[in-house]
Amino acid sequence: MNKKNIFIIIGIFAVSFLSYCFFPVIFFTPKDEPEHIFLRDRNGIVITDKANEFWYKKVIDLDLNSIFVKDLLIIEDKDYYNHFWVDIYSKLWALKSNIINKKIVSWASTITEQYLKNHFFKNNKRSYLQKAREAFLAFYYSLPYFPNTLSSFENREFTKKRILSQYLQNVYFWNNLYWIWAAMEVYFWKNDLNDLDEEEIVLLISLLNNPSTKSIYDKEFSIYFEKVKNKLSFSFERKISNLNKKQNIDNFPFATMDLTPTWDKISIDSKLSLFARDTLNSTLNSLKNKNVTNAAVFAINPKTREVLIYEWSRDFYSKEIDWQVNVINSPRQSWSSVKPFLYLMALESWYWINDLLLDIENEYNSFSDDKTYISNNYSLKEYWLVRFKNALWNSLNNATVRLASELWLENVYNFYKKYWFKLTESPDYYGYSLVLWNPSITLKDLVFSYTKLLDLKDPNKFLLYNILSDPDNRDISFWVNSILNTSISQAVKTWTSSNFRDNLVISYSPDFVMWVWVWNNDNSSMIWVTGITWAGYIWHQITEEAIRLWYIKEYEIPIPEWISKNEYCLDEKCFRKEIDYDKTEKTYFSRIADNYYDKKDFKEKLSDFEEQKLQDLWFYLK
């Protein structure tokens, strides 16, 4: 065989070996890494302890000068900081021992080789060829760091520490635990390497070499345990009889599947969330005879946008309850929850909180083929003349549509878009359904839209907040002493869809914004279940728990400029009066207790038909 052929054969062998070595490295993807996640809530309580192949992995700073790490290097790679990633002398000694014993006694793998195996080849069987690949790659890691200069030594030490840290975060410690922090947490409830005692150190090092042991008192494990103990010159008596495998948990799968954690924490409060879940389920169990099957809760801290409660169904694991649909992120028709935005627009258009609004059934342009739209209230009653604040809180449809017609529908349309409502069609397409139910928005975005109402330095948003948080304004539809009253008042809005298909309560305050939604997965109608009843019942209990946990605090909100406490006289001599926040020096002329109404308290332009109807109903207008 001539030299040319020899070089060709050597070249083919070299290319084949290099391809064998580098192919899995070049095409490696992070999803191949073993992962085990400990996720804590905002208060440090572990809420998830499970293997997870998805989007995050905890990276922690480890004390590489700790006793555990020093003892680990004594057992696994005593010359770690001195050799060039591969210990040739130990390799030769191990090969000699294997030949003498006619079986594999040792591979003499360095920490770097073990890291490469755990990182790139965790599923590969051990063989001489595999070990040659690991050794070559480990040596390849050393090439840029041969000690030619002082800086090279420093770079090499940095790389050694980095590899050692990554090794400790990938190495297998039995029971599906792939890194040192997980093993400490599960087995010993510790999270600092310096807190490990001698027996715990020996146990963890022994597990590295016996990751598939069935018991820490198995013969093979015990022999290695004593070997490590003696080599480290420890003299303790064994006290740990077993390492209990901790059951993998995920207490909040709704949140951990959808929320991006910050390092090892997630923003939800597990105590508040579990209380919400228990309240939700106990309430639904009591509503079986009313055809109510599901509910969801979502709450945030509006100041930080941190999610505190995230439950998109009553049971994540039950396929019967349509657990795969995340209703928090699903677009919904917003029903009456849009009304506060219309009334805010009216306040910005120089309406006042005690201005009179007309609440009668009336015909409006439907913007479709000469058809007319006829408004009506949810109760099918007419309230004729109502004050602005009462019309909003009692969610009167007639008054709302009349107000929208006065403000012009196109202006309302543009105003809603400023608050993240997704309006993909023209104003004429929606017609007056725009202000009652039609705008599409996810329930998550609905919460964030409401946070934009919390700029309480704005006089109009301040007035809106006071209207929605004052129980006295709930006199027509919801009663003054309703379930919507809490020990610290919240600005609250409810909706109930047509035919009782679903209902919602949404509330907002400077510290806490939350909605509770009750519905059926099959879209069937509930039996007289409204936002004021069962969604409100769930909402009330969770709100009181949030108050108890100090998520909702009571404090004086600074009064903006142009706002003051004013008297509103109910009768001519002002014997009966209300005192409420209003725009400074605003004067009203109507005396509703005397059935006297002044046109100066109307912003709306009444038609002859409307004036005549009010006169027929014995409303006297000056």
pLDDT in tens, 88-137: 656 666 555 666 666 655 555 677 777 777 767 666 666 666 666 766 67
Domain harbouring 18, CATH code: 1.10.3810.10
Q: For residues 195 and 187, give the distance between their C-alpha atoms in angstroms, rounded to a whole number.
A: 13
pLDDT value at residue 337: 86
Three-state DSSP class for residue 131: helix
Residue position matching structure tokens 């599960």: 186
pLDDT tens digits, residue range 520-575? 877 777 776 665 667 888 999 999 999 999 999 988 889 998 889 888 888 888 89
Cβ-contact 303, 552 below 8 angstroms: no
Q: Decide if pLDDT at 74 tops 70.
A: yes
Q: For residues 518 and 313, give the distance between their C-alpha atoms in angstroms, rounded to a whole number.
A: 10
pLDDT value at residue 11: 66
In a domain, 168, yes or no: yes
* Residues 317 and 177 occupy one common structural domain: no
* Residues 53 and 120 occupy one common structural domain: yes
Cβ-contact 423, 503 below 8 angstroms: no
Question: Considering 557, 580, 601, which residue would you say is the last residue of a domain?
Answer: 557
DSSP 8-state secondary structure symbol assigned to residue 570: S
In a domain, 338, yes or no: no
**29-33, 82-86, 427-431, 450-454, range with greatest mean pLDDT:** 450-454
Question: Considering 510, 530, 557, which residue would you say is the last residue of a domain?
Answer: 557
Higher pLDDT, 420 or 358: 358
DSSP 8-state secondary structure symbol assigned to residue 221: H
Can you give the three-state secondary structure of 503-551, one letter per residue? Answer: EEEEEECCCCEEEEEEECCCCCCCCCCCHHHHHHHHHHHHHHHHHHCCC
Q: For residues 407 and 600, give the distance between their C-alpha atoms in angstroms, rounded to a whole number.
A: 18
* Residues 10 and 95 occupy one common structural domain: yes
* Residues 163 and 282 occupy one common structural domain: no
Fill in the amino acid letter for 516: V
Q: For residues 307 and 470, give the distance between their C-alpha atoms in angstroms, rounded to a whole number.
A: 26
* Residues 43 and 145 occupy one common structural domain: yes
Q: Is the dihedral of CA 311, 313, 317, 323 positive or negative?
A: negative
Three-state DSSP class for residue 348: helix
Pick from 35-39, 102-106, 490-494, 589-593: least confident? 102-106
In a domain, 201, yes or no: yes
Cβ-contact 327, 313 below 8 angstroms: yes
Q: Tokens at residue 63, please?
A: 């004390």
Cβ-contact 514, 506 below 8 angstroms: yes
* Residues 97 and 143 occupy one common structural domain: yes
* Residues 325 and 178 occupy one common structural domain: no
> pLDDT grade, residue 152 (50/70/90)?
very low
> pLDDT grade, residue 516 (50/70/90)?
very high
pLDDT value at residue 309: 96
> pLDDT grade, residue 609 (50/70/90)?
confident
pLDDT value at residue 245: 59
Q: Decide if pLDDT at 149 tops 60.
A: no
Three-state DSSP class for residue 456: coil
The average pLDDT across 332-349 equals 88
Q: For residues 80 and 60, give the distance between their C-alpha atoms in angstroms, rounded to a whole number.
A: 22
Q: Decide if pLDDT at 172 tops 70.
A: yes
pLDDT value at residue 288: 77
pLDDT value at residue 5: 66
Q: Decide if pLDDT at 150 tops 60.
A: no
* Residues 281 and 216 occupy one common structural domain: no
* Residues 171 and 272 occupy one common structural domain: no
Domain count, the chain: 2
* Residues 218 and 307 occupy one common structural domain: no
Q: Tokens at residue 296, please?
A: 């969801």
Question: Considering 540, 557, 574, which residue would you say is the last residue of a domain?
Answer: 557
In a domain, 56, yes or no: yes
In a domain, 568, yes or no: no
User: How many Cβ atoms are within 10 Å of 342's Cβ, its own excluded?
Assistant: 20
pLDDT value at residue 424: 80
Q: Decide if pLDDT at 256 tops 80.
A: yes
pTM passes above 0.75: no
pLDDT tens digits, residue range 419-446? 878 788 888 888 888 887 777 788 888 8
In a domain, 586, yes or no: no
Q: Tokens at residue 187, please?
A: 């087995």
* Residues 321 and 201 occupy one common structural domain: no
pLDDT tens digits, residue range 382-405? 888 889 988 888 888 888 888 988
pLDDT value at residue 452: 93
Of 445, 410, 450, residue with least CA distance to 430 = 410
Ordered alpha helix ranges (H), 111-173: 111-120, 128-142, 150-168
pLDDT above 70 as % of the chain: 77
> pLDDT grade, residue 151 (50/70/90)?
very low
pLDDT value at residue 55: 38
pLDDT value at residue 146: 43
In a domain, 114, yes or no: yes
pLDDT value at residue 302: 95
> pLDDT grade, residue 180 (50/70/90)?
confident
Query: 53 φ, ψ to 5°?
Result: -100, 10
* Residues 149 and 64 occupy one common structural domain: yes
> pLDDT grade, residue 184 (50/70/90)?
confident
As a whole number of Å, the CA-based R_g of the chain is 35
pLDDT value at residue 179: 74
pLDDT value at residue 161: 82
> How does the average pLDDT of the chain come out, rounded?
79
In a domain, 120, yes or no: yes
Q: Residue 236 contacts by C-beta under 8 Å, 6 or more apart in sequence?
A: 197, 198, 199, 229
pLDDT tens digits, residue range 444-491? 888 999 999 999 999 999 999 999 988 776 655 555 567 888 999 999
Of 344, 335, 361, residue with least CA distance to 436 = 335
Q: Decide if pLDDT at 253 tops 70.
A: yes
The average pLDDT across 248-270 equals 82
Structural domain including 511 reads 267-331+478-557
Domain harbouring 273, CATH code: 3.30.450.330
